[in-house]
């Protein structure tokens, strides 16, 4: 079998390391240099990068039986658990997704909006004119509290700080470069600290699961945990989720709902605050639609320009910037045969900045999402994949976009901020976040 396109043996491992450390610079460059298929690295660090919308369709929709998620996303299992949706495959994935889906129905997600807004407002209303605030970090902590309250209601309100602190240790470990990971439980290692933190978080979560199981037959509090515990197979006769499955879904939802959503909020606010005309138009829409009322779901769906702003931010800065699959068998792509067993990587970040699909691709231009604008194009679902796509689309995407919009509304209508950095550097492996934070000076406030 002929070798796939890519750098020679001497450069391959070096460039593989560059992709791991600085993927946001390396991936577009590799696409330009080598085309839609690029082989990098050797041994456990061998990757086959696939670029273009057809790669996304193939991996996200085309042949689900031909690609494994769990083996490609082993890094997440240490914290999320082996039964989390994101690392499940085949029949296990189909069953778990069917059981988890009711927890993310439209009405249930809309009922979480007051929780989201109250947590965000508590942070924003503490800012005073003249303060220098890292908006990303300040709201990040409130997003975590909102996610925990949405998952558990107020039953763990007193333990939210402990739970978030434990989970943060694990999230930080998952976001490490693979080159810096050492998944062995030895004294003094970051892995041991992450495992201790996982066990401490599990004690809290399993305790709440047990308490609710014992109180079976009580009222549905409307939170995600009650929905997961009540889940049954279609005929109502089969088993629901085990305690371990419930735990793994909860932890993976916290990790995704907190880490990726707060990153998306940071990128969105930075984009708005560094584009004065955009900020002015968003504020005008908020004033016309929301005014001084408490934000509710009817407001969120009635702001098309805000929707365009969030979509454009997710296009340029998708928190899940790239992901991998393991090929079960050999397959063809772009005239090349990809061998069985390959770790195949696709990139939302790269395809969503590709000028072949997006005119003026590097410019933040919310108007491209509004019909009638010269930049507007009919959306191809495989050129815009910030939440994945097909049968593996992120189950929490609606909850995430609702929180991004809530954060944007509450910040822009309560305070005036001056950004201290015009350009931010992306960082992170599991989640693409702004390495500098989003530092702002408060000009006027509540």
The answer to which of 32-46, 118-132, 196-210 has the lowest mean pLDDT is: 32-46
Average pLDDT, the chain: 88
Return the pLDDT at 1.
Answer: 45
Output 74 or 338, whichever has higher pLDDT: 338
> How do residues 356-404 score in pLDDT, each as one tens digit?
999 999 999 999 999 999 999 899 999 999 998 888 888 889 999 999 9
Return the pLDDT at 188.
Answer: 86
User: What residue has token string 């914290």?
Assistant: 79
> How do residues 277-318 score in pLDDT, each as one tens digit?
999 999 999 999 999 999 999 999 999 999 999 999 999 999
Return the pLDDT at 164.
Answer: 84
Query: Between vectors from CA 237 to CA 231 and to CA 242, what angle results, nearest 5°?
Result: 45
Phi and psi dihedrals of 163, rounded to 5? Answer: -65, -45
Q: Is residue 430 part of a domain?
A: yes
**Buried b / exposed e across 187-214, counting CB within 10 Å, b at 16+?**
eeeebeebbebbebbbebbeebbeebee
| CA 137 – CA 93 distance, rounded (Å) | 33
The answer to which of 127-131, 242-246, 268-272, 427-431 has the lowest mean pLDDT is: 427-431
Q: Is residue 105 part of a domain?
A: yes
Looking at the predicted structure, is the pLDDT value of residue 8 above 80? no
Sorting pLDDT into bands at 50, 70 and 90, what band is 199? very high
| CA 19 – CA 12 distance, rounded (Å) | 11
Mode of pairing for the β-strands spanning 132-134 and 47-50: unpaired
Residues in Cβ contact with 207 at an 8 Å cutoff, skipping those fewer than 6 apart: none
Mean pLDDT of 230-245: 76
Q: Is residue 34 part of a domain?
A: no
Mean pLDDT of 252-260: 83
Range of the domain at 330: 52-444
Q: Is residue 28 part of a domain?
A: no
Return the pLDDT at 393.
Answer: 87
> How do residues 81-96 score in pLDDT, each as one tens digit?
899 988 898 889 889 9
Mean pLDDT of 261-290: 97
Looking at the predicted structure, is the pLDDT value of residue 235 above 60? no
The answer to which of 7-16, 98-107, 423-432 has the lowest mean pLDDT is: 7-16
| CA 119 – CA 295 distance, rounded (Å) | 13
Domain total for the chain? 1
Taking Cα atoms as reference points, which of 103, 79, 66, 56 lies closest to residue 387? 56
Mean pLDDT of 205-219: 82
Sorting pLDDT into bands at 50, 70 and 90, what band is 49? very high
Q: Please report, for the domain that includes residue 306, its CATH number.
A: 1.10.630.10
Q: Is residue 43 part of a domain?
A: no
Q: Is residue 21 part of a domain?
A: no
Return the pLDDT at 17.
Answer: 67
What percentage of the chain has pLDDT greater than the value 70?
Answer: 94
Q: Is residue 37 part of a domain?
A: no
Return the pLDDT at 214.
Answer: 87
CA dihedral in degrees (396, 439, 125, 225; nearest 10)? 20
User: What residue has token string 């007193």?
Assistant: 158
pTM of the predicted structure, to 2 decimals: 0.91
Output 408 or 44, whichever has higher pLDDT: 408
Mean pLDDT of 178-186: 76
Q: Is residue 178 part of a domain?
A: yes
């Amino acid at each position: 079998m002929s070798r796939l396109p890519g750098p020679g043996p001497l450069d391959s491992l070096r460039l593989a390391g560059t992709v791991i450390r600085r993927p946001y610079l390396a991936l577009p460059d590799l696409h330009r240099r080598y085309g839609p298929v690029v082989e990098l690295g050797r041994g456990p660090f061998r990757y086959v990068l696939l670029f273009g919308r057809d790669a996304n369709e193939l991996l996200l929709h085309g042949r689900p039986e031909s690609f494994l998620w769990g083996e490609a996303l082993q890094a997440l299992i240490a914290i999320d658990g082996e039964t989390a949706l994101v690392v499940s495959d085949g029949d296990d994935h189909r069953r778990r997704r069917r059981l988890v889906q009711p927890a993310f129905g439209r009405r249930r997600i809309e009922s979480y909006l007051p929780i989201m807004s109250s947590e965000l407002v508590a942070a924003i209303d503490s800012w005073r004119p003249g303060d220098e605030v890292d908006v990303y970090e300040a709201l990040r902590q409130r997003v975590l509290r909102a996610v925990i309250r949405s998952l558990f209601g107020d039953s763990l309100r007193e333990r939210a700080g402990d739970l978030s602190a434990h989970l943060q240790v694990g999230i930080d470990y998952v976001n490490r470069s693979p080159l810096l990971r050492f998944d062995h439980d030895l004294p003094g290692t970051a892995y041991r600290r992450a495992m201790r933190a996982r066990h401490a978080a599990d004690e809290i979560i399993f305790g709440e699961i047990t308490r609710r199981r014992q109180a079976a037959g009580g009222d549905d509090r409307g939170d995600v945990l009650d929905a997961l515990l009540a889940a049954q197979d279609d005929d109502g006769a089969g088993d629901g989720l085990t305690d371990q499955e419930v735990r793994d879904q909860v932890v993976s939802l916290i990790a995704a709902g907190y880490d990726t959503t707060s990153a998306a909020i940071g990128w969105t606010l930075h984009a708005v605050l560094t584009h004065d005309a955009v900020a002015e138009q968003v504020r005008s829409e908020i004033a016309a639609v929301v005014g001084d009322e408490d934000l509710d779901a009817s407001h969120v769906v009635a702001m098309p320009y805000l929707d365009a702003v969030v979509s454009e931010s997710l296009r340029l800065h998708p928190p899940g910037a790239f992901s991998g699959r393991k090929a079960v068998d050999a397959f063809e792509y772009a005239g090349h045969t990809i061998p069985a067993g390959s770790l195949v990587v696709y990139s939302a970040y790269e395809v969503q900045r590709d000028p072949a699909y997006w005119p003026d691709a590097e410019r933040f231009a919310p108007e491209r999402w509004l019909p009638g604008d010269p930049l507007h194009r009919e959306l191809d679902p495989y050129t815009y994949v910030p939440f994945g796509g097909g049968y593996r689309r992120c189950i929490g995407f609606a909850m995430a976009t609702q929180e991004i919009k809530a954060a944007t509304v509450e910040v822009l209508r309560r305070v005036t901020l001056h950004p201290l950095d015009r350009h931010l550097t992306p960082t992170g492996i599991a989640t693409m976040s702004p390495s500098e934070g989003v530092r702002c000076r408060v000009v006027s406030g509540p």
